[in-house]
A and B are shown apart, each in its own frame.
Chain A
Amino acid sequence: MGLDFSIVPKYMDVILLGCAWTIGITVAAALLSFFGGIVFAVIALYGPWLLRQPFRLFAWLFMGTPLLLQLFLIYFGLVQIGIDLPAFVAGIIGLGLHFAVYNSELIQTAILAVDKGQMEAARTLGLSRGEALRKVVIPQAVRAVLPPIGNNMIALLKDSALVSVIGVSELTLSAQRVIGKTYRPFEFYLLAAACYYVINLGMEWVQRRIERRISISR
């Protein structure tokens, strides 16, 4: 029994729907991880002690434990305390927070690397420290680490397959379901791989465009 892709068109709609879920979850989680990363970085660097300490525990939880466990915790664990999230929402939150912590590490380093003359110039004009961070330091820090943040987003896309374990019919789970019916693992896993590849290319394209737009303002 060799490779036979003639069966593929019949199930293409299932696969495409899976792609749509993967893209949706990835984009939502990427946005959460980006803005969450900025907020976390500010808390870690400038937050009051009362916020900083719990955050360190939180950051450890998200960096030091498997993403899979985190998804279980958010989806199955939170139900116990009355927070019953739809699976895809739990998936977005889990992925988003997980990568927010990684982005926050990058952004923290970048904030500290912004020339201190920038903060001084802003303060000299009369901006408060918060205003100077928001208007001057953070925008520059974020620009400086966009390429590695982009890499994190590609990793996020790949890890989005993990939300299949809490039952979100994204691309990987869709492929599995089709395989369950057709017994054609090779064809459909290859197809799924191709889909991930195309989504990946799309993300890289967006990333390049953003980087090109901001390159002049560095």
Chain B
Amino acid sequence: MTDTSDFVRIEHAQKSFGKLEVLKDISLTVERGQIVAIIGPSGSGKSTLLRAINDLDALTGGEIWLDGVQVNKTLPHRQYEKHINEMRQQIGMVFQHFNLFPHLTVRENVTMAPMLLKDLSKAEANKLAEEQLDHVGMLERIEYYPSQLSGGQKQRVAIARALAMKPKLMLFDEATSALDPELVDEVNQVMKKLAEDHMTMIIVTHEMDFAAAVCDRVLFMDQGVVVEEGPPEVVFKNPVKDRTREFLRKHIEGAK
């Protein structure tokens, strides 16, 4: 596709867990290279939306598109599995609790998926892992096990692991929320670097300063709907909606 707009397109996303309606008709587009932050109170459906994008939690209604291909298209079970595994290779995801594989070294964490899914030779995968780990400043720890790393280091390895699949889109679900305050910055630096490389990113975060600094657009979600969306200058400084103002006021007070 030559068109750079609508790289990611979410149309009327709807998600219920039983009777609980968590996402209510959410639509959103992200352009190639754009960085979108999603903020909002706990339970508003931020994680659910992010997890719907790579179908970890399947939507109950609506469509997700990435680069002209529908992620959650209707297919017979087997074909869908094949399709979704291919789509997920193009969508990197970083979790709050890192989810590194504890039985594998840092190197193996990064090389496993490329070797298995992209048929890279061991040498090629090692080269790729070294590049990616260098990019996040973790090359010296390549032979370590996750249990020997700090939280910030684990998260940087998790980012390298996702990047090794050469994704078109990166999703971050509160990547720094589980970290000690002094370790947050090293992860933020890595994310900033990705932003400079023009990676398309959707970032769920509680860090308003970071969101304001790196994001092109901010979405405020509450109770399963997008209440307000716009450039960070507007959403953070001059929000239109009362609920946004209320949330930001509480949040900033809470942070103090």
Contact = CB atoms under 8 A, between A and B. Distances in A.
B117 A218 contact: no
A140 B101 CA distance: 9
B103 A139 contact: yes
Interface string A160-187: 0000000000000000000000000000
Interface in A118-137: 118, 120-129, 131, 135-136
A217 interface: yes
Given A126-B113, A216-B147, A121 B95 contact: yes
A123 B88 contact: yes
Nearest to B104: A217
A interface residue count range (under 10 / 10 to 19 / 20 to 34 / 35 or more)? 20 to 34
Chain A interface main SS type: helix
B183 interface: no
Contacts of B54: 124
A139 B56 CA distance: 22
Given A121-B95, A135-B112, A128 B81 contact: yes
Contacts of A217: 102-105, 145, 147
Nearest to B86: A126
A212 B119 CA distance: 33
A117 B95 contact: yes
> What 8 A-B pairs come out closest when comparing CB atoms?
A126-B89, A121-B99, A125-B113, A117-B99, A124-B93, A126-B88, A217-B103, A126-B85
Given A120-B56, A124-B54, A217-B105, 6 more contacts: A121-B158, A123-B88, A125-B113, A126-B89, A129-B81, A131-B116
